[in-house]
Amino acid sequence: MTESISKRLPQPHSKNSEMRTNLAREAVAELSDELLLLISDVFSLFLKTKNFHWHVTGPHFREYHLMLDEQADQIFAMTDVIAERARKMGASTVHSISDISRHQRLKDNNDEGLAPLRMFEELLSDNQQLTVFLRQLHEVCERHNDVATASLIEIWVDETERRAWFLSETLVDLRQPRTA
Ligand SMILES: [Fe+2]
């Protein structure tokens, strides 16, 4: 068990944790560890999508701006559900931006003046990577028979693949040679 998780789990004889789930303590340790990484990635991707929503420029500004806002809303909606899955197991979740930055696997991008092509390439790559993380967590859920988290992940994989679809179609358009 990692140090971060051992601090986030309830005490072995906590009445609260005994009441919340019949998952084994080892299962809760592994699942809450994975949920902590996932929520950190999701918050990071939410903020990057908002960052690009705010900073995107160009001839298709309105279309890109609105699409990224829609995607950011969908990503943000995941955060509360992930955090509450951890709490329902009796584990804790992220407390702050600094907590998120210690656990995120997806990278931030603080570049100024990023071209729309680069923004969409990076978001596509991040969403594809998120799908990999979600599928890996689904395997952990199946191993521990955590059907509740598994069912949520199935929806999030579908949503993430939809975002990737829209991003990849936008990239096809952006890569078309421009005619004067
Ligand atoms: Fe906005």
Does a structural domain hold residue 21?
Answer: no
With 0-12 / 13-18 / 19 or more C-beta atoms within 10 angstroms meaning exposed / middle / buried, residue 8 is buried
Checking if the pLDDT of 16 tops 60, the result is no
DSSP, collapsed to helix, strand or coil, labels residue 68 as: helix
**Ligand 1 center to 161 CA (angstroms):** 23
Residue 24 is predicted with a pLDDT of 86
Residue with tokens 């829609």: 70
Total structural domains in the chain? 1
Does a structural domain hold residue 7?
Answer: no
End-to-end Cα spacing for the chain? 60
Phi, psi of 144 (to 5 degrees): -105, 5
Residues 108-119 pLDDT 10s: 999 999 999 999
**Ligand 1 center to 69 CA (angstroms):** 6
Furthest C-alpha separation in the chain: 71
**Ligand 1 center to 163 CA (angstroms):** 18
CATH number at residue 125: 1.20.1260.10
Does a structural domain hold residue 137?
Answer: yes
**Ligand 1 center to 20 CA (angstroms):** 38
Residues 136-173 pLDDT 10s: 999 999 999 999 999 999 999 999 999 999 999 999 99
Retrieve residue 136's tokens.
């890996």
**Ligand 1 center to 158 CA (angstroms):** 24
Checking if the pLDDT of 3 tops 60, the result is no
Does a structural domain hold residue 16?
Answer: no
Residues 25-49 pLDDT 10s: 899 999 999 999 999 999 999 999 9
Who wins on pLDDT, 3 or 76?
76
**Ligand 1 center to 155 CA (angstroms):** 25
Domain range enclosing 92: 26-175
Residue 20 is predicted with a pLDDT of 73
**Ligand 1 center to 130 CA (angstroms):** 23
Does a structural domain hold residue 56?
Answer: yes
- Residues 81-104 have a mean pLDDT of 96
Which pLDDT band, with edges at 50, 70 and 90, does 180 fall under? low
Retrieve residue 148's tokens.
């509740």
Does a structural domain hold residue 70?
Answer: yes
Does a structural domain hold residue 15?
Answer: no
pTM of the model as a whole: 0.89
The mean pLDDT value of the chain amounts to 91
Which pLDDT band, with edges at 50, 70 and 90, does 5 fall under? low
Does a structural domain hold residue 98?
Answer: yes
- In terms of C-beta distances under 8 Å and separation of at least 24 residues, what long-range contacts does 156-163 make, across chains too? 156/78, 157/131, 159/74, 160/127, 160/130, 160/131, 160/134, 161/127, 161/131, 163/71, 163/74, 163/75, 163/123, 163/127
